[in-house]
A and B are shown apart, each in its own frame.
Chain A
């Protein structure tokens, strides 16, 4: 026989304890439900304390190449063009050169399988990849330095390939590397490297992640998950005992 008075007392005590969690879960749940309209899914936190709490280590700049007009750096999966992040994610950086296409001055950035055609202000004109015939396994990007020619060249597994970005033709060169100046890695000043790292770190942790982790308890690690699980069990207990107590209530009470 269940002691009604003891159960009622337990129901009330658990009710007080779980009230705070009900409020927290309701608010975080409401925020998650409308996360896009609030704009939290695209807002990022740059607080070093929170980044450290989450165990994010701000990566170092892996490589930097420079042309006459631009300096491009790779950090994790991001490319920075003169300090500004380019849209998209990239796995490598193999070179940067300036060239002419028609009457336009362009900056070409090569990854191991793509060529990004950019204006000298860093606007993406077009991204060329395998569908445009760009060979994969690019080691270096270079430019012909003889005469008025502005030909572009790629080094792919030791073979030199002439790249025509207008006609989209990629033909092996018979003359080898002669007359080609390959894009070289450079070492930027520490201040610029730090700026890139800070800029990159500001895109690692979104508000959506924080709200989601508050809702699931993960913000406190495995202890937080255990706590939310415990609260869920208590909510179940409250629901069951609440219905039971209501069904056994005394008439007129």
Chain B
């Protein structure tokens, strides 16, 4: 009787583990995205400031290429806000598809990073808070490096790299707003 009961518990536990193994990754990988307008409204509490642009030309273009590891896909980057606090929305390819990333910089430190749209089939873990919170408070040190160490995610190397590089680029570009 006792053996039958423990056997039933064993199979119930096994079923539960199988269910979690199937359902959990699917729910975490769901294709939800944040509208850029909603991101900006959230950052500026509904009062959207004017936007302005920074041209990537000359030395800025070279530094941007060094940060990204390739020639930037755009010649000017747009931001909302001012040199003290600004929000940027940039696209960067993870593996094959662009990831839309929103970055907020306040006083030359990252205030927030969010994945607004993720189109790759792998590496979606970067959109979760457990990963993005590593960027909060990071500033730029040395040759456009982040002051905080960003722990990678196994299987999401390229997505992690894309987000790290976009954060570095935004810190670099926001620093040029003062000059």
Asked whether A41 lies within 8 Å of B51 as measured between CB atoms, the reply is no
Q: How far is the CA of A127 from the CA of B37 in the complex (A)?
A: 15
Q: How far is the CA of A41 from the CA of B123 in the complex (A)?
A: 15
Which of the residues B36, B40, B74, B98 comes within 8 Å of A126, measured between beta carbons? B74
Q: A41-B96, A131-B40 are in contact. Are A87 and B78 (CB under 8 A)?
A: no
Whether A125 is near chain B, meaning CB under 8 Å from some CB there, is yes
Total number of A residues with any Cβ neighbor in B under 8 Å: 15
Mask of B143-160 contacts with A, CB within 8 angstroms, 1/0: 000000000000000100
Within 8 A of B (CB), among A113-131: 119, 123-127, 130-131
Whether A233 is near chain B, meaning CB under 8 Å from some CB there, is no
Within 8 A of B (CB), among A160-179: 168
Which of the residues A87, A119, A123, A131 comes within 8 Å of B89, measured between beta carbons? A131
Total number of B residues with any Cβ neighbor in A under 8 Å: 17
Determine the chain A residues whose CB is within 8 A of the CB of B95 once the complex forms: 36, 41
Q: Which residue of B lies closest to A168 (CB)?
A: B51
Q: How far is the CA of A87 from the CA of B97 in the complex (A)?
A: 10
Question: 11 A-B residue contacts at CB 8 Å?
Answer: A41-B95, A119-B75, A123-B75, A124-B73, A124-B74, A125-B74, A125-B76, A126-B78, A127-B74, A130-B35, A131-B40
Q: Which residues of A contact B (CB under 8 A)?
A: 36, 41-42, 87-88, 119, 123-127, 130-132, 168
Per CB-CB distance, the 3 closest pairs between chain A and chain B, nearest first, are A131-B36, A125-B75, A87-B73
